[in-house]
């Protein structure tokens, strides 16, 4: 699996926060309930996002999380790379196998490189605002 629950949850949470931007800071409890994710597990994920300055968290009464940038300035790729560690489709491209002794002669390496670029380019081309449902979270009355 290229993307595990951690990455998937992170993305859903970011969309959730984008949709509820207008409400100000949103406590973890609320996000967890809305998204059906365990509160404790979500803590880990949010901590990662905060440490990377993608979210700002504030403690205490009235605290919670908000995006640090407008939704159109987040790409799906960066969110997933952060939470997953890497989006490389094969270990060969990912630290571990760096300089696999066979890489010079490997007939399949180009396939992996192309695939990697395809995946990253696509995910870097999708921004958070594109995933926000139109008017979701706003109660416009005409």
Partner DNA sequence: GTAAAGCCTAGTAACGCAATAGGAAATAGA
Partner DNA sequence: TCTATTTCCTATTGCGTTACTAGGCTTTAC
Which three-class secondary structure state does DSSP give residue 67? strand
- Listed residue (130, 136, 16) closest to 65, CA to CA: 16
65 bridge partner residues:
26, 57
CB-wise, 85 or 125, nearer to DNA? 85
Site string for a copy of itself, 38-67 (x = CB under 8 A): ------------------------------
Burial (CB < 10 A; 0-12, 13-18, 19+), residue 133, is exposed
d(CA 75, CA 128): 6
- CB atoms inside a 10 Å sphere around CB 130: 12
Single out the residue of 78, 81, 90, 113 in contact with a copy of itself (rule: CB under 8 A): 90
Single out the residue of 31, 49, 123, 127 in contact with a copy of itself (rule: CB under 8 A): 123
Single out the residue of 122, 129, 137, 138 in contact with a copy of itself (rule: CB under 8 A): 122
Closest approach of Cβ 134 to DNA, in Å? 27
Contacting residues toward a copy of itself, per CB under 8 A: 1-3, 5, 8, 11-12, 15, 36, 76, 88-92, 94, 102, 106-108, 111-112, 114-115, 118-119, 122-123, 126, 131-133
């Amino acid at each position: 699996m290229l993307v595990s629950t951690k990455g998937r949850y992170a993305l859903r949470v970011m969309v959730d926060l984008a949709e509820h931007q207008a409400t100000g800071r949103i406590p973890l409890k609320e996000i967890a309930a809305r998204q059906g994710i365990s509160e404790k597990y979500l803590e880990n994920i949010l901590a990662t996002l905060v440490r990377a300055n993608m979210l700002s968290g504030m403690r205490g009464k009235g605290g919670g999380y908000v995006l640090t940038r407008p939704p159109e300035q987040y790409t799906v790729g960066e969110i997933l790379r952060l939470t997953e560690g890497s989006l490389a489709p094969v270990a060969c491209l990912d630290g571990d196998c760096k300089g696999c002794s066979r890489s010079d002669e490997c007939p399949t390496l180009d396939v992996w490189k192309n695939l990697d670029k395809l995946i990253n380019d696509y995910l870097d081309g999708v921004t958070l605002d594109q995933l926000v449902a139109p008017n979701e979270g706003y109660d416009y009355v005409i």
